[in-house]
Amino acid sequence: MDRIRTISKQLFLDMDGVLSDFGTAVIRHYSLPVELYELDSWWKIIDIYCETYEGKTVNDFWNGFDYLFWVNIPKTKECDTILAMVEQYKPVLLTTCSSKRDGSSAAGKLTWIAKYLPDYYADGRYFIGASDKSVVSGENKVLIDDSQDNYNNWWRKGGEGILVPRPWNLMGDKVDVLEVIYEQLENIMEEEY
């Protein structure tokens, strides 16, 4: 008879692309002529922005988001189900900020957490950092993220990861996003002995 025991692991949960629908918000904000889930690379949004607005640069793209943009990003359609799925592990929200120097990204994301995830806000279960999430990776630390780069870097630093299927990562062909997350979560957070 197999027995299951819970491993003491810390779970980190990405915001943009997993809980908050950053890509769709960007497309609407800039009125870009593309559907998010048609893209095989998230970064093509920036290329489309630069093509749509001739003369604009990558810096213009990132600097075009003010505080209210970050606050008003909608939740992903899977957000509430993902949160219910992981709540037993008391995850910490892990997000990064754009390089915009006025602080609107960090302040907006903090307000987004307070608005949509008040329990996480009240409990202080969030970490808003610089661009490299893997600085908090390590043994017994698990990241749920939609970015292939974040996922790969997390593993390289000794952590474990769950890649949320999106067209812009290697899991993009998986149809049932929630089933994939659930199965990987069960495998990583529990072990047989």
Q: What are the pLDDT digits (tens) for 45-83? A: 999 999 999 999 999 998 899 999 999 999 999 999 999
Name the residue among 131, 122, 158 with its Cα closest to residue 143: 158
Non-local CB neighbours of 50 within 8 Å, separated by 6+ positions: 56, 57, 58, 61
**Any domain includes 101:** yes
**Any domain includes 155:** yes
**Any domain includes 109:** yes
**Any domain includes 48:** no
**Any domain includes 55:** no
pTM for the whole thing? 0.88
- CB atoms < 10 A from the CB of 130, how many? 9
Count: domains in the chain: 1
Q: What are the pLDDT digits (tens) for 13-55? A: 999 999 999 999 999 999 999 988 888 888 899 999 999 999 9
Domain residue limits at 74: 4-21+67-192
**Any domain includes 31:** no
- Spell out the long-range contacts of 100-107 with Cβ–Cβ below 8 A and sequence spacing 24 or more: 100/62, 100/63, 100/65, 104/65, 104/66, 104/67, 104/69, 104/70, 105/65, 105/70, 107/67, 107/70
What's residue 77's pLDDT? 94
- DSSP strands (E only) in the chain: 4-6, 10-14, 92-96, 126-129, 141-145, 160-163, 190-192
**Any domain includes 35:** no
In the numeric block, which tokens belong to residue 102? 């006025």
Provide the CATH number for the domain around residue 92. 3.40.50.1000
Q: What are the pLDDT digits (tens) for 142-181? A: 999 999 999 999 999 999 999 999 988 888 777 789 999 9
Residue 4 or residue 117, greater confidence: 117
What's residue 39's pLDDT? 83
**Any domain includes 30:** no
